[in-house]
Every structure is written in C-alpha cells, then in structure tokens.
Structure 1
Amino acid sequence: MRQTLFRYGTPLLALGCIAMLGLILLNREAPATVTALLQSTQLQAFNVLFIGILLEAFPFILLGVIFSAILQVFVSDETIRRFTPSSIWGGLLFGGLLGIIFPLCECGMIPVIRRLIRKGMPAYIGMTYLLAGPIINPIVFSSTYIAFRSNPEVTYSRMALAFAVAVSIGLVFAKFAKHSPLREAGHTHAHAHIHAHTHTHTHTHTHATGGGKGQSKWSATLGHASDEFFDMGKYLIFGALLTAIIQTSIEREMLASIADQPLLGYMLMMAFAFLLSICSTTDAFIAASFGGMFQTGPLLAFLVFGPMVDLKNTLMLLSTFKVKVVLLLIGLVFAFTLAGAMLTEVLL
C-alpha cells in the first residue's frame, strides 16, 4: 500500500500543482466547487493540523539525523562497544535513562537507534532507548509537570510507567531476540554504496584543493544527514497526512459517551494516542484537556503509549525494522502499557 501511494501519489500531486500554476498564469479562478472546498472549515482545520504536525516533528527528525550522521562519521564501532554496559541489567538501565542525556522526540529517535545498532550496540539496549527516550527526558518531564501542575502524581507516574514498560520490553528482546531487528533491504546496501562513493569523492576532492581531514569528515556528515533526512521524511509526511485526516474526523462527543466504561476508556485513549500522533513534548497538554472526562489510568495510557507507538512513527519503524519486529513491539507496548496503567490507577 505504501509503495502504491508513493508511486501514484507523487504524479497526481505534480498534476495538481501544474493545474494550479496554469490557473495562475491564465489569471483565472478555480471552479466554484473547488473554491468552496478549499474554503471549507474542515479543510482549513486539516491544513492547520497537517502543517502543525510537520513543523512540530521536522526539527526533531533533523536533530536525529544530524546526531546519527555524527555517530556514523566521528564515532567508531569500538567506542560504542566500550561505553555500552556488558551486563543485561546494566544495559537496560543505560538504555532506559539515556534520554536524560540525549533527549530526542520519537521521530528523531529512529535514525539514531538504527545507527547505534549498526555501530554495535546490542539491539535490546537500542529498543529500550527507543521506547524510553521520548518520555524519560527533561523536556517531557517539564511539559508534563506544567500541564498537570495541580496533579503532579501524573508526571511521576508517567516517568515510572514509561521506564517500567521500556525495560520490560528490552528484557524480552534481550532474552528472546537472537538476530538483528533491522531490515536488510536492498536499498540499505545501495545507500551504503552511495555513502562510500560520496565519502571517497569528497576525500579526493579535499586533497586536490588542499583541504584537511576534518573538512572531509564534515562533508561526509552532511551527506549522511541529508540522505537519512529524505529517507525518513517521506514516511513522516505520509503519517502526518493520515493523522491530520483522522484528527479532523474524530468528534469529542464520541469520546465522552464511553469515557465511563473502564476498559473501553483505556482502549480508546490508547487508540486516540496512536491516531493523533502528537509529539511527546506537547501531548501532556492534550491529555490534561481530557482530565475532567477520563480518570488517571486512561490518561497515563495515553501519555505512555502514544510517544512509544503512534501512526507516523509506525511507518518510520517499518522503514527501519523488520515487519514482525514492529508488530511484536506494538503488541508488547500495548499489553504492558495497558496492564501498567490499570495497576497504577488502582494504586493511586
């Protein structure tokens, strides 16, 4: 489905742009039906949401790919292995708290995790960091505390539950995952060849112009970053498109009708978090707006499940990890988050 959309969507979009350019050059207005559609309230809301998601996520993806490219060029495999704990529990603790030092959004995490695993970091540590990093970091802690300043227990419960879920899933991967979770697609090798060719060409050109070794490395860094940015960006755009469509279609009254039903309340808020795909730095304010409608448990499920698994980052996960790994990851996050949120509701 994704390949079909990319195959036919780009030509259709190009035709639409050509048609709009033709109307501009001919100084003519669009047909009345098209004008009414473009000025409709629902379409305006869609435009705001779609652009808002892109503007919110692109800086974090850019940060992620730059950090990933720096890892590729400047950090050796031996360095990664030297700083990675050898014991399983030490690795899980390391992965669960690494976001405090390197706070990245879930969008920017994926290229970094891919690079770290390829550099030699054990997959279970990478998966733990992938799940915990978007939540257990100073930025998200601050935003959640501000959103729930009248109920700070939610903030601490979110951090604790996220850590418990991430470490539990990391332990599952440590015990049962014997092979690399990364995809071994043909385009990966093609990218590697392109990177090697670019690096060789840059290195040769640098010597010809009298440049230094540092300049060659920074050129290679920019090449890696640009390739990964465009590789991950197309999945973000597609995910943002679907997310904006869903957000403009869901009515708040529908949520209120089943908020009082215990299990359905959890399931609905987790589905809501998945479909809305809100960045972890701002989702606490969305959750707080439902505070008068849902209990603490469903709100925690929303705050933990969404940053770990949502619609737009699922597409990005599928571009990086094997399909069965992604499905297993989603299932484990769902089960552990649901059980943890329900237990927390009882304890609070």
Structure 2
Amino acid sequence: MVRVTTTPTTDGEPTSAPARRGRIDSLVVLCVLLLVAMLAQDQLVSAFDAPAVRTGSTVFVAVCVQAMPFLVLGVLISGLIAAFVPASLLRRVLPRNTAAAVGVAGVAGLALPGCECASVPVARRLMQQGVPPAVALAFLLAAPAVNPIVLVATAVAFPGEPMMVLARFLASLATAVVTGWLWARLGRAEWIAERALRRITPRPGASRWAVFAETARHDLVEAGGFLVLGGLTAAVLNVAVPAAWLTSLGGQLVLGVIVMALLAVVLALCSEADAFVAASLSALPLLPRLVFLVVGPAVDVKLVALQAGTFGRAFAVRFAPLTFLVAVVCAVVTGLLVLGGAR
C-alpha cells in the first residue's frame, strides 16, 4: 500500500512528505475497540441488558449497516475522480458561470444512486479538483435526494399518491440549487478546513491505481469514524424521543411540519429507506411527511458529523442551519403547490 502524506508548498500545491510513524489514527482506535468488545462481550451484554440500551444498539447498528455500503461507494467514486479525472476536464465540462454550474450539479445528482454518506467524500474530491465549493455542495445535497433509487422507493411507499414523488423531486432539487446559490454568495473560503482542499499527491512513479487505492483508503478511514459517531448520536436521540409525541400531531399542520423536520434530523435515516417510515405515519397530512423526506437527506446528525469531520466544524455550524432552513421552506412551498397543502 502506498503511504502518502501531503504538505503545502509555497505555490499552494501539496507535495509528498515522509509518513509519520507511530501515529495512532482512527483505524487503530477502531480495531482496539472492536477487540475489546469481542473479548468482553459477555460482560458488556450483562451490564447493558436494558430495553432502552437494546433499542439504541439496534438503531446504531441499523444506521451504520445502512450507510456503510453507500459510504464505500462514495469513497470508490472519490478515488476514481482523484486518479482518472483531471481537473482540466471538470473545468471544461462545467459552465464558467457559478450560478449555472450549481444548476448543472443539482441535476447531476440523478446520476449517483446512493445516500448522503456517499456524497460527502465525492463533494470533497470535486473541491480538490478545482470545482467551486458552491457547485460541489449542490451536488452533495442533490445526489442522495433526487437519484432514481430514492424516487422509485418513494413511489413504492406512496402507491396512492403519485404526486408525492414529483413533490419530493422538485423540493429536493430546489433545496440543493438554492443552497448552492446562497453559499456562492454568502460562503467564505476560510470556513472550509484547509485539509478538505488539500489534494493527496502520490510518491513519484505511483500508478493511477495506487492513487485510487490510497485515496479511497484515506477517505474511508476518515469518514468511517464520523459515521460511527453520527450513528451513536442517532441511537441516543431515537431512545430519548418518545414515540407518543407523534400521536397528537394529526390535526396540527404547522406543529407537524416543525416536529417532522426536527425528527428527520434526529432519526438520521438513509434516503433510500426514509419514504417507508414517512408512509407509515398515516395519521399525519402529506405536507409534514414531505418535509420529513426533504430535510432528512439534506441535514441529519450523522451527516453533520461527517461534514464536520470532512470540511471542519466552522463549515458545519454554518452549512447545517442554512440547509435546514432552505429545505423546510422549499418543502413547504412545493407541498402547498403540488400536494394541495394539508392533504
């Protein structure tokens, strides 16, 4: 395996540097924790044998198992972009006008079937290849919400409501594009951590496949730890939020929209499974359930953890609230126009 670290040069381009030895990274910590869990399995089971703990454990495993295949897909695509797609090609394909490029990136989300975890490493790699951050972020939001698998799953979950699929597509695409436009106007370069923009440069003579393998390994190790952290947060919040709270929302549209938006952040469901959860909440009108489906793929606790680990905390504390607000507004407006409001 190629060991690569990067250090910036005076002209801003990273160069190869000797790898530091003896450094304890997240992969070592994860292996140690897994080893301890296996050796002390019986003691852990007896110590945490409680219904709430069992429920939280189930949610934690479900979140990680749902997301991990798509995270792997994302880092593989990220590696392919780094190894085989030159920055000059991306600059030729995308419009020079940032506003137009954001729109193209939103529509390009149709091409990547995956959840939000897959889009984070891809967006990072696009930035490293010279794509403007606003364009990469529009793709990050669009890919998990408007791809064909998500739309088909929504159609299956709502067989009697074909307009729900159209409403979800339009609201999610609008969320990605509007957020990209706002970030292009209001976002600042210093809000994104320098490490997110620093390209991995292989040792001299390394093949493209070596670059691909090193890039994918680097992204998987870095993002995997934050996925686990996000899954743990989702599990705790799932146990802490009483299910009985939803039973009183049937006739309260505004409160239902607010609660379902917050619930989407807390539950951290995969975008390809959330439609079935929304469909099961039949006591609620369609509008709050649409808000749930639009907000979830755009901002949830595991996605915020991934973004903070990838782009830095300064980015996450600004991007997550912006995305949440835009997603709620786009979902409500689209629902009123397409679904007829409170149906």
Same fold (TM over 0.5): yes
Name the counterpart of 2:166. 156
**Cα deviation, residue 80, structure 1:** 1.1
CA deviation string 1:177-202 (max 9, x = no partner): 353653114x976xx6xx54x533x6
Structure 1: which amino acid aligns with 2:210?
A: S
Name the counterpart of 2:118. 108
CA distance in 2, matches of 1:11, 1:334: 33
Aligned CA-pair RMSD: 2.8
Q: 1:230 to 1:19 in 2, by over 3 A?
A: closer
Structure 1: which amino acid aligns with 2:132?
A: P
CA distance in 2, matches of 1:16, 1:227: 20
**Cα deviation, residue 345, structure 1:** 4.0
Matches within 5 A, 1:14-93: 18=36, 21=39, 30=43, 36-93=46-103
Answer whether contact 2:167 2:335 (CA < 8 A) is retained. no
CA distance in 2, matches of 1:162, 1:79: 28
Answer whether contact 1:301 1:338 (CA < 8 A) is retained. yes
Task: Identify which of 320, 323, 343 aligns with 1:330.
Answer: 320
CA deviation string 1:286-317 (max 9, x = no partner): 11111x22111111111001100000010111
CA distance in 1, matches of 2:193, 2:253: 39
CA distance in 1, matches of 2:335, 2:120: 31
CA deviation string 1:95-138 (max 9, x = no partner): 11111122331101111101101101122211111111111110
Q: 1:220 to 1:297 in 2, by over 3 A?
A: same
Name the counterpart of 1:275. 266
Structure 1: which amino acid aligns with 2:272?
A: T
Name the counterpart of 2:227. 236
Q: 1:248 to 1:66 in 2, by over 3 A?
A: same
The secondary structure found in structure 1 opposite 2:189 is coil
Name the counterpart of 2:303. 313
Q: 1:318 to 1:15 in 2, by over 3 A?
A: closer
Name the counterpart of 1:294. 284
Name the counterpart of 2:329. 339
Name the counterpart of 1:96. 106
CA distance in 2, matches of 1:20, 1:158: 43
The secondary structure found in structure 2 opposite 1:86 is coil
Structure 2: which amino acid aligns with 1:199?
A: R
Task: Identify which of 230, 238, 253 aligns with 1:262.
Answer: 253
Answer whether contact 2:260 2:289 (CA < 8 A) is retained. yes
**Cα deviation, residue 20, structure 1:** 6.6
Q: 1:314 to 1:18 in 2, by over 3 A?
A: closer
CA deviation string 1:47-73 (max 9, x = no partner): 222112111111111111111111111
Structure 1: which amino acid aligns with 2:186?
A: F
Structure 2: which amino acid aligns with 1:270?
A: A
Structure 1: which amino acid aligns with 2:303?
A: N
Answer whether contact 1:114 1:182 (CA < 8 A) is retained. no
Is residue 173 from structure 1 mapped to residue 177 from structure 2 by the alignment? Answer: no
CA distance in 1, matches of 2:315, 2:262: 20
Identity percentage of aligned residues? 29
Answer whether contact 1:111 1:228 (CA < 8 A) is retained. yes
Answer whether contact 2:172 2:331 (CA < 8 A) is retained. no
Answer whether contact 1:123 1:181 (CA < 8 A) is retained. no
Q: 1:345 to 1:15 in 2, by over 3 A?
A: closer
CA distance in 1, matches of 2:236, 2:184: 38
The secondary structure found in structure 2 opposite 1:294 is coil
CA distance in 2, matches of 1:312, 1:176: 25
Structure 2: which amino acid aligns with 1:261?
A: Q
Name the counterpart of 1:227. 218
Answer whether contact 1:62 1:229 (CA < 8 A) is retained. yes
Q: Compare the two structures and name the one with the higher helix fraction.
A: 1
Q: 1:227 to 1:345 in 2, by over 3 A?
A: closer
**Cα deviation, residue 247, structure 1:** 1.5
Name structure 2 gaps, 5 residues minimum.
1-23
Name structure 1 gaps, 5 residues minimum.
1-5, 204-215
Q: 1:180 to 1:75 in 2, by over 3 A?
A: farther
Answer whether contact 2:98 2:132 (CA < 8 A) is retained. no
Is residue 199 from structure 1 mapped to residue 190 from structure 2 by the alignment? Answer: no
Q: 1:36 to 1:18 in 2, by over 3 A?
A: closer
**Cα deviation, residue 19, structure 1:** 8.6
Structure 1: which amino acid aligns with 2:108?
A: L
Name the counterpart of 2:10. none
